[in-house]
Structure 1
Amino acid sequence: MTATSAEKPMDSSCLAQLVPLEAVLFDIDGTLCDSDPIHLLAFQQMLQEIGYNGGVPIDEEFFVKHIAGKHNDDIGDYLFPDDRVRAAKFLDDKEALFRSLAKEKVKPIDGLCKLKKWIEDRGLKRAAVTNAPRPNAELMIEILGLSDFFNAVIVGSECEHAKPFPDPYLKALEMLKVSKDHTIIFEDSVSGIKAGVAAGVPVIGLTTQNPAHLLMEAKPAFLIKDYADPKLWAALEDIDKKAGRITA
């Protein structure tokens, strides 16, 4: 793959080069909502029940290294390398437990409502792009009140390759009929950022759960704490200025 501008280090001021901005793409877990702690809890409970790791609950470091942002097939191969049938059954049960817990625990990332309005006011296209199973994705979007917000929901398992491959983001660009040169991605995981960068789209990383130094290795445009971060709004103001929405 030829190197793209999105593979080079950027800063928030460089997003103005995307004008006219056409679309905004979002991961879901850890990006729309801080759901990783719920996933961690579900994995801890279920792995402890089967005596994994000698019955000692997995910790956050293990979760970040081996589970967060990864597709379930890859997680299953790691946890149960010699038994794919068991892996599939375990992960189906884990997702059911996650959905049960999520109904009471899922909350939006700070500033998401403000960013949603900014996107809607400018008439931008938007899609959710996730490695989560579709029932999880649709449940979280519903809980967050975003069912009417997204034009499309792209699921990694429904593409030829899931993240960290670019396929899900390339499919989103195709479905929305937008250019990678006029699109922004929001992601919170190393695999997600790698997928966006490989698709040639600038990625803004969120430090919701994963360490900043690990996220930076995946080459995002820049990192933010959440959608209320002043760095994000300075970048969006630069986009508006170049688009003629704000006079200098």
Structure 2
Amino acid sequence: MYRTLLVDFDGTLTPSLTLWLQAFQYALDKLGRTVPEDTIIKRFYYRPYEETAAEFDLGSGKVFEGHVMDGLTITLAKAELFPGALDMLEAARELRMAVALVTSSPRPQVMSGLRNMGIEDAFDVIVSGDDVRHFKPHPEPVFKALHLLERGPDECLFVGDYTTDVLAGHAAGVHTALHLPAEHEPFYDFEMLRATRPTFTFTHYAELIAFMRRTNMLEPTLIGA
């Protein structure tokens, strides 16, 4: 039985990988540089800004990061929830689960995206990249969320879309659910993601909702009874 639900933001609640791509392109344009889209997908995601700036001769990593954040603020204004994501959050409430958002993205951009999607009040706790010293796959963000919720790891499910989420979950001793929507195929190697051995893998949120209800031994007809 799960009493706690932790949810990643980018690529999990919202199909934002293309929005990050646009933010990287915005930053490159500000720096007067052009990098092929497929190279951005392969070399820009999930890397320290200093490393990316050094590899592509972009100057200061801090300046590059600032441009990316400016671009992300613009692109996240277009963020939308994955179909069924709101139903999943509502199902968690019906199942009396504590709910936290756990993301490595900066808090200002995340909060802007949540407000634009109308779900800024959907979480008991929000742990952003600004709130921890170590990003996922380090377990610190997961442990911090559990600490703030006053919950243990044994009855917790962490939902994410990338290796960093699953590995952070493993390191923290929580169960994991891996989101593999078709929109992510240009960005990720799905076999590599499955190799991280999540507790559950799903394509559509209806599958995750059914898993949560089944695990908590509560039939849909009994919700709210």
User: TM-score scaled by structure 2?
Assistant: 0.85
1:235 aligns with 2:208: no
Aligned equivalent of 1:203: 176
Which of 32, 35, 58 is the equivalent residue of 2:16? 35
1 CA distance for matches of 2:106 and 2:119?
17
Task: Quote the residue 2:7 is aligned against.
Answer: 26
**Could you tell me the percent identity over the aligned residues?**
26
Matches within 5 A, 1:134-153: 134-153=107-126
1:102 and 2:80 matched:
no
Amino acid at match of 1:167: E
Structure 1 segment 84-103 matched on structure 2, within 5 A: 86-103=60-77
Whichever residue aligns with residue 12 of structure 2, its letter is T
TM-score with structure 1 setting the length: 0.78
Tell me by how many angstroms 1:49 deviates.
Answer: 5.1
Find the counterpart in structure 1 of residue 31 from structure 2: 50
CA contact (8 A) 2:53 2:64 kept: no
Code of the residue aligned with 1:27 in structure 2: it is: D
Is the CA contact (8 Å cut-off) linking 2:26 and 2:67 kept in structure 1? Answer: no
Equivalent residue, structure 2, for 1:214: 192
Q: State how far apart, in whole Å, the 2-side matches of 1:37 and 1:24 are.
A: 26
Distance 1:49 1:160 in 2: 29
In structure 2, what residue type is equivalent to 1:149? A
Runs of 4+ in 1 over 6 A off after TM superposition: 82-85
Secondary structure in 2 aligned to 1:42?
Answer: helix
**Higher deviation after alignment, 200-209 or 179-188:** 200-209
- The superposition leaves residues 61-109 of structure 1 with CA deviations (integer Å, 9 ceiling, x where unpaired) of 642x4443x3xxx431321238998111111121111111221x21101
Q: CA deviation at 1:123?
A: 2.2
Alignment pair present for 1:79 and 2:52: yes
Is residue 5–residue 99 contact of structure 2 (8 Å, CA) maintained in 1? yes
Question: What are the superposed Cα offsets for residues 215-241 of structure 1, whole Å, 9 maximum, x if unpaired?
Answer: 11222112211313x3x2442232232
Q: Label 1:50 to 1:84 Cα distance change in 2 as closer, same or farther (>3 A).
A: closer
Is the CA contact 2:44–2:52 (under 8 Å) kept in the aligned structure 1?
no
CA distance in 1, matches of 2:110, 2:119: 11
- Among candidates 155, 158, 167, match of residue 140 of structure 2: 167
What code does the residue aligned with 1:91 have? E
Residue in structure 1 matched with residue 158 of structure 2 by the alignment: 185
2-structure distance, mates of 1:66, 1:130: 20
Counterpart amino acid of residue 184 in structure 1? L
Provide structure 2 residue ranges, at least 5 long, that are not aligned to the other structure. Answer: none
Is the contact between residue 47 and residue 57 of structure 1 (CA under 8 Å) also seen in structure 2?
no
CA gap of 1:237–1:152, structure 2 versus 1, over 3 A, is closer
Output the amino acid matched with 1:211.
D
Count of aligned pairs between the two proteins: 215
Provide the rounded CA distance (Å) in 2 between the counterparts of 1:151 and 1:99.
24
When the two chains are superposed, the root-mean-square deviation of aligned CA atoms in Å is 2.4
